[in-house]
A and B are shown apart, each in its own frame.
Chain A
Amino acid sequence: GNSVTQMEGPVTLSEEAFLTINCTYTATGYPSLFWYVQYPGEGLQLLLKATKADDKGSNKGFEATYRKETTSFHLEKGSVQVSDSAVYFCALCNQGGSEKLVFGKGMKLTVNP
């Protein structure tokens, strides 16, 4: 079945550090890929997405590229801020059928000033 594996945290970084959160997936067909973020005390919200191979999603300085050959969708940001402290979830949605949305376990990021 479809599944998502992402690096587990928690991770603590200093402000302006480079961030990479690894995410790999297993899926039949060609899923859409997402990164969701959960800020403290708030609900899950979409950070970025990519719907086909080689697409790059970007938002708020974060980027992720849909790599079909390595079945990966790693999240990167060149310079993190304190306000990026949150839990990050990688997710996939299989296309052309049930549109089932499957999540990874999430990674908690803390950014210190």
Chain B
Amino acid sequence: EAGVAQSPRYKIIEKRQSVAFWCNPISGHATLYWYQQILGQGPKLLIQFQNNGVVDDSQLPKDRFSAERLKGVDSTLKIQPAKLEDSAVYLCASSLGITGTEAFFGQGTRLTVV
């Protein structure tokens, strides 16, 4: 079974530039999560989709971050403009969305803002 695919794996940009990350979840998974993991910390949920609807985006900095899930499958996360403090690993995960089932994670995208 194919896992969660993310691209790119690494990205270096200058502050005030924009960047986009892509995620392809496991086929059939209704729930898709985007997390931000700053070095030395646990993953922080940015946004959660159920199919193509947003379930939770309370911790998404909406002045600079945006995300969409196309047709309830692939998703993109965008940052515009980037700040130094956005340097982190951005993780995408998906799950069946059924109580008690686990989330499967992609390898993540390591973003460095200089």
- A residues 83-102 near B (Cβ < 8 Å) are 89, 93, 95-96, 98-102
Chain A residues within CB distance 8 Å of chain B: 4, 32, 34, 36, 42-46, 49, 51, 89, 93, 95-96, 98-106
- What residues on B are CB-neighbors of A43 within 8 Å? 91, 105-108
Q: Which of B42, B55, B56, B95 touches A103 (beta carbons < 8 Å)?
A: B42
Number of A-B contacts (CB under 8 A): 61
Across the interface, name the chain A residue whose C-beta is closest to B100: A51
- What residues on A are CB-neighbors of B105 within 8 Å? 36, 43-45
Q: Which of A46, A49, A51, A101 touches B45 (beta carbons < 8 Å)?
A: A101
Extra 9 A-B pairs, beta carbons < 8 Å, given A99-B99, A101-B95:
A32-B99, A43-B108, A49-B102, A51-B99, A98-B48, A100-B45, A101-B33, A102-B45, A103-B42
Query: SS class of chain A's interface: helix, strand, loop or mixed?
Result: strand
Q: Which of A42, A101, A105 touches B103 (beta carbons < 8 Å)?
A: A101
